[in-house]
A and B are shown apart, each in its own frame.
Chain A
Amino acid sequence: MYNKALPPAPTRVSQYGVGPKYVVKRGAELKNIVGVPLTDLVTGLPPVIFPGGSNDVAVIRKETEAALAKVDMSKITAGSTVNILASHHGFTFYGGQPYAEMLRTIKDVVEQRTGCKEVRLRAGLGMRFRETEEYIKAHGLDEYFHGKALGIAPIDAGIPIETELGTLFGLKKAYDADFIIHAHNSDVREVHFHRQVDRAVKPFGMSYARCETRSTYHMNLGPRAANFVARSIFESEFVQSKFAFACFLTMSPAGATGVDADTDLYALNDRVTVGGMRDYGKIMTLFGAIDECIVILDFPCPVPYVFACGVIYANMACANLDVFDLDYPLPPYTWYTETMYDDNGKPLIPEVPPVNPAIKTVVHNYAWIGYPSVFFAEKSPTIVVGKQQAELFDRDPMNLNYMKHALLADNLDGAMDFAYHTTGTRKVILFDGAASGLNVSEPLAEHLYKVAPGVMERVEQKLLPKWLAQRNVDPSLLDQVA
C-alpha cells in the first residue's frame, strides 16, 4: 500500500510560462500516482531544516547567522560598498523563500557587524532576462534592499577581467562595489555541465558573467575543460581584490540542510562537492536504474530544469551514463553534445552517447520557455498539453522549432492515454518539485523499492570512492559534512 501523491510545487505567474489557469490538471492528480518518501529509497541523507515543521524561514535566518558568525568580515568597513551576488537558481527551491531569507540575513548581518550601509543585491540569471526581477518583486527584496536590488543579464554592460585564459568578461553591475559576497546554493543542478568540478565556483563563469564568457564555457573549451572558465575568473586579481566571502544554502534531494559560509571558497567547494556526490549521486544513480518510463514535466522552470527530488530533468535525460565519472568525456546532454548531431539527427562521432533510452515519452504538462529546449523534443517523443503552451513555445525565439518535434494534446488525460498506448509502459515519473519525495506510478514505485538497496550499496562502496578520487577530495570530509 503506497502513500497518496505528494503536493507538487505550485504553478507560478511568470511571463515565461502559461498562466496558472491553463494548467488545468497536475500530474499528481492522476489516479494512479503515489508519493514515495525519499528516505524510503535513499540512505544516509542529512537532516533537513526546510521544508518541514512549521515551514518557517526563521530557521534559515538562524542557520545563516550561525554560519556567518564564523566568517571574518574585517575587510568590509562602514564606508564600503558591497554587492551580494545571487542567482536565479536559488529562487527555484520551495518557492524561493529559503534562499530569499538567506539573502536578507546576509544583508542584515553584514550591516550589523561592519556598519556598512551600502549593501546591494545583484541577482544573476540564465537566459530569461527578467526572471530575477520577478523573484525580487515576489519576495519584496527591492524594498528590503532599499531600492538597490537588481537583476543582471548576460547582455548587460560588461567589464574585462584578465585571467589565466586571457581576457574574459564579467558583468559590470556585479562588480561595481568594493566587495562582493557570493551567495549561492549547493545542489548539483547542472551536473551534466559542471560534472561536480568547482561546483561552488561556477557562477563566476556564468551568473555573474557576460555572454562572451558563457559562450566560452559552452562552446570553446570542451565539456570538462570548460570548468576552468569560472576558476580562472575567480582567481583573477580583479575578483580576488573584491571577494569577501561565500554563503551557500546547502541542499540535499530532500530539502535545505543548512547554511555554509567561508572566506575560503575552495574549502567550501570541497564540502559542497562531497555532499553533492554523496546525496545526489544516490538519487541520480537510482534514476539511472529505471528501465523504462513516461516522464511528466510539471514545474515552473524551463524544460531541462524541472525538478524531481532536487534533480533536474536534464539529469534524467543523462541518467543512462554516470555523469559524476570524469572518465566519460561527454554526457548525453550538454551544449557540446547538442552540437555533435548533424542535420539528419545523426551523431558526428560514435562517442556521442544517446539520450537516456529509458525515457519512452515525455508529457510536457507545465514547463517554461526561455531556454533552447528543442534537443529534448527531438530526442524523446514529446507531447505538449494545451494549445496555450504550444503557442507560447512558438513565440519564444529560443524555441521556434520545439513544436515541430512535439505533439499537442488538449489535456493531460489525453496525453497520458496516448503515452500509455504507444509506449506500453505503466511506469511514470513526475518532475513536479514535490518536497521530500517522489511522485511516481505504482509500477515504478514497486521497481524503485526493488532496486534501491542495490543502488545505494553500489554508490557507497564503488562509485563514491571513485568520484572522490577523481577530484582529489579527501574522503574524511564526508564525516564533516552534515
Chain B
Amino acid sequence: MKTVRVQAQVDMELCQGCKTCQMVCPVYAIQVSRVDGKPQVNIDYDLCVGCWNCEQRCPDHAISMAPCEPFDLATDVSKFDYDEIHALCRKAHFHPKQLVCYCTATRAEEVAAAILDGASDPAQVVRACGVGSGCGIECNQPILRFLEAAGKTFERPKQSYQWYGRTATVWDVSDKVKKEHPGFRFDSDRDLLDSVVNAPIHNVKS
C-alpha cells in the first residue's frame, strides 16, 4: 500500500519534448506530442503514482513533484479467499507475508490480491497496490513473476523503456550451469528460498 502525496508537473518553458518522461513512466501516465512544432505534455493524474522517475530523468529539469490531495494505492486482501492468494503466491515462489517492495512495504499477498482483483499488466499492478512506485528497481521481477504465475501476458508498449520482461529465477537454473559453477551454491540458495515459501502462515487478516 502506498499513499500518494505528490504528482508530476511540467514546466513547459523548459520542456523540449524529448519524451524521456513518457519512456520512463512505469504506469504510462505521460504522453508527449507536438502541436505546431511545440511540445505538449499530457499527464493523466488518475494514473500518476508519484514515483519521481520522470522528475529524475528529465534532461531539461522541466519536471517537479508537487503536493496533491493524498490518495491510497491499495488492494484489500480480506476481500479474497486466502487460499487463492496463497496458491498464487506459491506459484510465484513467494510466501504471502513476504515483502516484495521495500519502498512501499507491499507484501506478496497484496500483489496477489491485486491480480485477483483484475490487474493484468505491470502498470495495473503498480496502480492497484503501490508496488513498484518507489525505487522502481527491486520489485520489478516479483511483479512479473506474479503476472506470469497468474497466466497474464502483456505486450510492452513501444513508447516505453519499462517492463522488458521476466528473467531467470533460481528455480529455472539449468543443471549444466549448476554443475559448471558450483561456487555459486544454487541448490543451497534454492533450498533457503523454498523454506521461506513453505513457512507457516500467521496473521491472516479476514
User: A residues near B, CB below 8 A?
Assistant: 127-130, 153-158, 160, 164-169, 197, 210-216, 218-228, 231, 326, 329-330, 335-336, 338-344, 346, 348-349, 351, 371-372, 374-375, 395, 397-401, 471-472
Interface string of B150-184 (1 = CB under 8 A from A): 00000000000110111111101110010001011
The answer, yes or no, to whether B3 is at the interface (CB within 8 Å) is: yes
Using A155-B53, A400-B2 as known contacts, say yes or no to A219 and B189 having CB atoms under 8 A apart.
no
Contact B103 A221 (CB under 8 A): no
Interface string of B19-40 (1 = CB under 8 A from A): 0000110000000000000000
User: B residues near A, CB below 8 A?
Assistant: 2-3, 5-6, 23-24, 50-53, 56-57, 95, 97-100, 102-105, 107, 133-142, 144-145, 161-162, 164-170, 172-174, 177, 181, 183-186, 188-190, 192-193, 195-196, 199, 202-203
Contact A225 B104 (CB under 8 A): no
Contact A340 B184 (CB under 8 A): no
Contact B184 A348 (CB under 8 A): no
Using A160-B164, A348-B98 as known contacts, say yes or no to A222 and B136 having CB atoms under 8 A apart.
no
CB neighbours of B184 from chain A (8 A): 197, 224-225, 227-228
Contact A372 B57 (CB under 8 A): no
Q: How far is the CB of A209 from chain B (nearest CB, A)?
A: 10
Pick the contact of A165: B2, B173, B196 (CB < 8 A). B173
CB neighbours of A130 from chain B (8 A): 56
CB neighbours of A227 from chain B (8 A): 184
* Selected A-B contacts with CB under 8 Å, 7 pairs: A155-B24, A167-B167, A212-B167, A222-B189, A335-B102, A341-B99, A344-B203
Q: How far is the CB of B173 from chain A (nearest CB, A)?
A: 7
Contact B192 A351 (CB under 8 A): yes
Contact A228 B167 (CB under 8 A): no
CB neighbours of B100 from chain A (8 A): 219, 339
How many inter-chain contacts with C-beta < 8 Å in the A-B complex?
187
Using A221-B189, A222-B190 as known contacts, say yes or no to A397 and B134 having CB atoms under 8 A apart.
yes
Contact B102 A338 (CB under 8 A): yes
Contact A330 B185 (CB under 8 A): no
Using A165-B173, A224-B189, A398-B103 as known contacts, say yes or no to A212 and B141 having CB atoms under 8 A apart.
yes
Tell me, in angstroms, the Cα distance from A228 to B184 when the chains sit together: 7
Q: A211-B138, A346-B202, A398-B135 are in contact. List 18 more A-B contacts (CB 8 A).
A: A127-B137, A130-B56, A154-B136, A158-B164, A168-B167, A210-B164, A212-B140, A215-B138, A219-B138, A220-B168, A221-B189, A225-B186, A329-B188, A339-B100, A372-B102, A397-B103, A400-B3, A472-B183
Tell me, in angstroms, the Cα distance from A225 to B173 when the chains sit together: 10
CB neighbours of B162 from chain A (8 A): 155
CB neighbours of A344 from chain B (8 A): 202-203
Contact B134 A372 (CB under 8 A): yes
Q: How far is the CB of B89 from chain A (nearest CB, A)?
A: 12
Contact B167 A339 (CB under 8 A): no
Tell me, in angstroms, the Cα distance from A351 to B199 when the chains sit together: 11
CB neighbours of B133 from chain A (8 A): 397
Using A216-B167, A400-B103 as known contacts, say yes or no to A153 and B56 having CB atoms under 8 A apart.
yes
Q: How far is the CB of A159 from chain B (nearest CB, A)?
A: 9
Tell me, in angstroms, the Cα distance from A197 to B95 when the chains sit together: 28
CB neighbours of B166 from chain A (8 A): 212
Using A220-B168, A397-B51 as known contacts, say yes or no to A471 and B183 having CB atoms under 8 A apart.
yes
Contact B141 A154 (CB under 8 A): no
Contact A165 B168 (CB under 8 A): yes
Contact A220 B170 (CB under 8 A): yes
Tell me, in angstroms, the Cα distance from A375 to B100 when the chains sit together: 13
Contact B189 A215 (CB under 8 A): no
Using A211-B136, A212-B141, A212-B164 as known contacts, say yes or no to A397 and B52 having CB atoms under 8 A apart.
yes
